[in-house]
Structure 1
Amino acid sequence: MKPYRVPELAKKYLNYDMIQTHTELPNFPDARVHLLYIFLQCSKRNVTERDELYALVTSLVQVGLDTHESIDTTEGNQGEKMMRSRQLKVLAGDYYSSRFYHLLAQTGDVEAIALLSKAVSEVNVLKMNLYGKMKGMLLSAEEYLRHMVQLNMQLFLSFTPLIESSFRGNWKTLLSEITHCETILREVDRCVSPEDGRNGYGYWYMLDRANEEEKKLLITKKLDSKDWKKLMLKHKTADNLLDKLRQSVSTVQTLISAFNGEGPSAQIGQILEPFIQRLSRYRSAVREG
């Protein structure tokens, strides 16, 4: 199997001084991209030397979508720095999302262009459905998480027709669990502050369990950092998320063992390492108190 080097290739398109100086990009979706690359490499298809390209363009589209998602839409006066950051995120998201067409068009790959274009459209529909439920407060924490996992795996699912039929069942199951892992870690990081955690999993999880006074604070979004952290500790929000991460890691490990050392088992095991390390650091922090 050809070595995985998509993150390095993506830097050519992602690393721009102006963007890095004035704003912050979302994390590279490495686990999902690596998993897609592995399954494409293991598939016996007539089209060769496209696996790396497919993984690269999918990563760029995902970063573009995530960049748009990270734009602060809070109303009110904002400083010049925040306004510049917002403008650059809009432009960066558009640029990353459009690169897939240019790169695939160079190879004349109409099929892949159609697959990704349709997937982007499906992602936008899913987002609108989620935003509608969030606005109407018609969402539980578990429903929110399911929606986010589906959103985050939709682009990658579009390549299922190009994956060998005997691998498709495992591909879909593993993609769901790996996406679950990446989504959970993102939500753990969002929980650090009320500004970042606003409308994230932690928000909905605490809202599900809050008393009337706490619900009022959450709904009106009048929580300061101190109150937010108190609620996080009271309802053990981070613990809940990390328990979910542990369960998904365990599920992936069980699926890997079913390969009996064949196929992509070793490579998939490498994908789990960042999640296992995060769980290990959390256990160490708990022991140290």
Structure 2
Amino acid sequence: MTRNHLTQMAQKYMDYDMIALHTDVPELPEGRIRLLHAVLSHQPSAVTHKDLLAVVTSLVQMGLDIHDQVDNEAGASGGGIRGMRSRQLKVLAGDYFSGRFYNLLAQAGQIDMIRRMGDAICELNRVKVLFYSKMKQMKLNAEDYLRHGSEIKSGLFLSFTHLMSGLYERLWPEMIERFTRCELLVQELNRAEEHGASPHGWGVWHILQEGSEEDRRTIADDGADPNAKELLMSKYSVADKLVAQLLQTVGQLQQLIARLPSDKLAKELQLLIEPFLRRIGPMPAAGIKELG
């Protein structure tokens, strides 16, 4: 299945004028969807429904991501009536995508899959409550931030583990967790290189954990000079540390892929890792040896 074909299949159910005009729809989780679709293509119990499962997973994940936008905006300035309407539309858009997911699976008679994905959504909501609670209470450390973030990105995809057999079933949970951790690290690296510092990015939690008392006060102060925060990101080598973690995680992911029974699948999944490798940039000899 080509990248464009998967995107077109999912987009068919996502194109809705009201949503497109009035909400910022998150990006399709293309990497995770292609990873899932590729692995399901090698599972006898799932190959018949692999396209359907890829589409409904796209819809559910998009719905969850849109609802997360509403949660993140709730604590920000309201924006008056315009802001309220924007949040209402995002809630409705998330519900719309979720509704299509139920409808498509029910039409295909995939009732067990509805239950399993519903259970996964409940577990994701539990993880999110724990994550946001820790964040609000300032009881989060940098590793917690990555761990919970990976759990949130990978949780829905774990609901397909039962469709896999043998070594695939054993490797899938760790493979999807490593893949989503790579996605999160790239996202955080992009944040770290922006002007200022994201209020809740990995770099902030790293400085709160490792920084001096004065630096911790500065990075936690919403009213602090963005230039001062940018200097702190540089002082604590946030971008370099994220690149090092991305290098390590990509290496772990490649080791998992090398254990797969299908060489054809391994080559296909290697293509999905290339954006992470490009984001790392030129690697030192030691890093190349580790990945090999």
TM-score (norm 1): 0.87
| Aligned residues with identical type, % of pairs | 37
Please list the CA deviations of residues 139-166 of structure 1 after superposition, one character each: whole Å capped at 9, or x if unmatched.
1101111111112111100110011233
Moved more, 138-147 or 253-262: 253-262
2:43 maps to a residue whose letter is S
Q: Shift of the alpha carbon at 1:127? A: 0.8
Q: 1:217 to 1:155 in 2, by over 3 A?
A: same
Q: 2 CA distance for matches of 1:15 and 1:239?
A: 39
1:42 maps to a residue whose letter is H
User: Within 5 Å, which residues of 2 pair with 1:104-143?
Assistant: 104-143=105-144
1:28 maps to a residue whose letter is L
Q: SS in structure 2 opposite 1:159? A: helix
Determine if contact 2:25/2:66 at 8 Å carries over to the other structure.
Answer: yes
The equivalent of 1:49 in structure 2 is 48
Q: Shift of the alpha carbon at 1:78? A: 1.9
Q: 1:123 to 1:262 in 2, by over 3 A?
A: same
Q: 2 CA distance for matches of 1:48 and 1:257?
A: 22
Determine if contact 1:62/1:155 at 8 Å carries over to the other structure.
Answer: yes
1:180 maps to a residue whose letter is R
Q: 1 CA distance for matches of 2:195 and 2:90?
A: 21
- Is 1:31 paired with 2:37? no
Q: 2 CA distance for matches of 1:186 and 1:12?
A: 27
2:281 maps to a residue whose letter is S
Q: 1 CA distance for matches of 2:163 and 2:119?
A: 15
- Is 1:187 paired with 2:188? yes
Moved more, 168-177 or 82-91: 82-91
Q: Shift of the alpha carbon at 1:18? A: 4.2
Q: 1 CA distance for matches of 2:47 and 2:252?
A: 32
The equivalent of 1:222 in structure 2 is 223
The equivalent of 1:70 in structure 2 is 69
Q: Shift of the alpha carbon at 1:275? A: 1.4
Q: 1:169 to 1:201 in 2, by over 3 A?
A: same
Moved more, 10-19 or 161-170: 10-19
Gaps of 5+ in 2: 285-292
The equivalent of 1:287 in structure 2 is none
Q: 2 CA distance for matches of 1:279 and 1:53?
A: 34
Q: 1:280 to 1:161 in 2, by over 3 A?
A: same
Determine if contact 1:22/1:84 at 8 Å carries over to the other structure.
Answer: no
- Is 1:40 paired with 2:46? no
Determine if contact 2:250/2:276 at 8 Å carries over to the other structure.
Answer: yes
Q: 2 CA distance for matches of 1:253 and 1:205?
A: 27
The equivalent of 1:13 in structure 2 is 13
Q: 1:158 to 1:133 in 2, by over 3 A?
A: same
Q: SS in structure 1 opposite 2:281? A: helix
TM-score (norm 2): 0.86
Q: 2 CA distance for matches of 1:156 and 1:104?
A: 16
The equivalent of 1:286 in structure 2 is none
Determine if contact 2:36/2:54 at 8 Å carries over to the other structure.
Answer: yes
Gaps of 5+ in 1: 284-289
Q: 1:231 to 1:79 in 2, by over 3 A?
A: farther
Q: Shift of the alpha carbon at 1:269? A: 0.8
Q: 2 CA distance for matches of 1:75 and 1:258?
A: 46
- Is 1:275 paired with 2:254? no
Q: SS in structure 2 opposite 1:199? A: coil
